[in-house]
Amino acid sequence: MDAKLDVLILGSGGREHALGWKVAQSPLVKKLYFAPGNAGTSALGENVKVDVADHPALAAFCRERGISLVVVGPDDLLAAGIVDTLTVAGILVFGPTKAAAEIEWSKAFAKRLMQEEGIPTAASETFSDFRKALVYMKKHLLPLVIKADGLALGKGVIIARTQAEAEQALRDLMLEKKLGAAAEQVVIEEYLEGEEISVHALCAGTDAILFPSSRDHKRIFDDDQGPNTGGMGVIAPVPGVSAATMKEISAKIILPALKALARHGRAFSGLLYPGIMLTASGPKVIEFNARFGDPETEAYMRLMKSDIVPALVASANSSLKGITLEWSKESVASIAIASGGYPGAYEKRKPISGIEEAERAGAIVFHAGTGRNTEGTPITNGGRVLHVTATGKDLPTALTRAYAAAKHIFFSGAYYRTDIGTKEVQRSAR
């Protein structure tokens, strides 16, 4: 790779700011673009207004500017086939094709693939008929997990603890059609007991390189209470998750999934991110994502020592030959600061202060839902607003630094969890 690259990152979250922060450090990169980006990404490159939903316009933009690599952040763009369109237009793209990304955008497809390949996951069945779903539900032990087949912005999973709750969920999805086409099929699956971790694997065809383990904290309130969110905080690596466990996940989950996809003519390039439950009978897949996690990426980018650009280019070219990823031996913590009311309704356009102070206190702050007002002051523009990340020689040090930095951030209604990593620190001290 001699020629310098112009890189375009698609998306507007903390994940895209963190990827951009890492990509911008590469000596291989000349210019960085974001579409649409946020107030943080505009400090690293140019935020462009091109409509990411208009694939031909996006391809034309890439050709006009001579973009050498496009990195796709969000799942909905993958499901809409953006990689396919750009590839046909002769543009190098990091991310799976629409057919390969079906492992994320259809839970029914992912389940079928796992059953076929013997990949450990919760026992399940898929339904499109309400009556049949009801009969199955009544024959199985509670709790049961009811999932809309398609992408549902984190609202498609219901954990039903009583038959009444399960029946209501099935009615809402299948009769009332509250999630529309996303729930034309519904998966009913066994409830898995255990500790959840996030696994990230850089993939090309049947090859994969795993990142260290991480753990997101999905519920809005401390002690894992309240509704699910996009993710309120991450730690990595997760204390107690051994190299042997990661090897087992690679051998029994990641590699078989890649093999199955390739066999179906859907070879997967990009980032494969299964949510894994560590159960008494071994690691089991909760779901597959076909993209970088958010906020996992904010944490991972702080630990990755290698230049990420050759890795992204290699995966986009469908071969990981010669690629290794080196990681810091430190720990990292990332705390999401959200708008009051999130994941429900919240207000926008609140002026934000304290980002520089937080960074002086030793953190790096990635923007998510932010914009700027006419004076150039950062303002809130989304549910999760900022991700405060810090590293340290161990997890307690990283957490102390991240929380000390988060205290400097202020906007009206700002909210964050105060217990990210607490359980893990207590457990590893025992």
Of 23 and 144, CB closest to ligand AMP: 144
Of 119 and 286, CB closest to ligand AMP: 286
Establish if 16 lies at the interface with ligand GLY (CB under 6 A).
Answer: no
Q: Which does 228 bind (CB under 5 to 8 A by kind): ligand GLY, ligand AMP, none?
A: ligand AMP
Residues interacting with ligand AMP, by CB under 6 A? Answer: 122, 145, 154, 157, 189, 191-192, 196, 218, 228, 275, 286-287
Of 275 and 362, CB closest to ligand GLY: 275
- Greatest C-alpha distance within the chain: 63
Stretch of 57-65, 293-301, 304-312, 361-369 contacting ligand GLY, by CB under 6 A = 293-301
Give the list of residues 6+ apart from residue 87 with CB closer than 8 angstroms, or none: 93, 97
Establish if 296 lies at the interface with ligand GLY (CB under 6 A).
Answer: yes
Of 296 and 424, CB closest to ligand GLY: 296
Find the binder of ligand GLY among 189, 294, 298, 424 (CB under 6 A). Answer: 294
To the nearest 10°, the Cα dihedral for 170, 171, 173, 174? 90
To the nearest whole angstrom, how small is the minimum distance from the Cβ of residue 154 to ligand GLY?
7
Q: Which does 289 bind (CB under 5 to 8 A by kind): ligand GLY, ligand AMP, none?
A: ligand GLY
Residue bearing tokens 């993958």:
78
Of 191 and 221, CB closest to ligand AMP: 191
Question: Side chain identity at 276, as an amino acid letter?
Answer: I
CA separation (Å) from 411 to 222, 285, 406, 407?
20, 38, 12, 11
Of 68 and 124, CB closest to ligand AMP: 124
185 alpha carbon, distance to own chain's centre: 23
Radius of gyration of the chain (CA): 21
Establish if 293 lies at the interface with ligand GLY (CB under 6 A).
Answer: yes
Cα separation, 62 vs 106, whole angstroms: 29
Q: Which does 120 bind (CB under 5 to 8 A by kind): ligand AMP, ligand GLY, none?
A: none
Stretch of 46-54, 182-190, 290-298, 329-337 contacting ligand GLY, by CB under 6 A = 290-298
Are 248 and 283 contacting, i.e. CB atoms less than 8 angstroms apart? yes
Of 401 and 417, CB closest to ligand AMP: 417
To the nearest whole angstrom, how small is the minimum distance from the Cβ of residue 367 to ligand GLY?
17
Cα separation, 407 vs 280, whole angstroms: 38
Give residues 218-237 in contact with ligand GLY (rule: CB under 6 A): 230-231
Establish if 287 lies at the interface with ligand GLY (CB under 6 A).
Answer: no
Stretch of 16-24, 105-113, 289-297, 377-385 contacting ligand GLY, by CB under 6 A = 289-297
Establish if 13 lies at the interface with ligand GLY (CB under 6 A).
Answer: no
Residues of the shown chain interacting with ligand GLY in the complex, contacts defined by CB under 6 A:
216, 230-231, 289, 293-294, 296
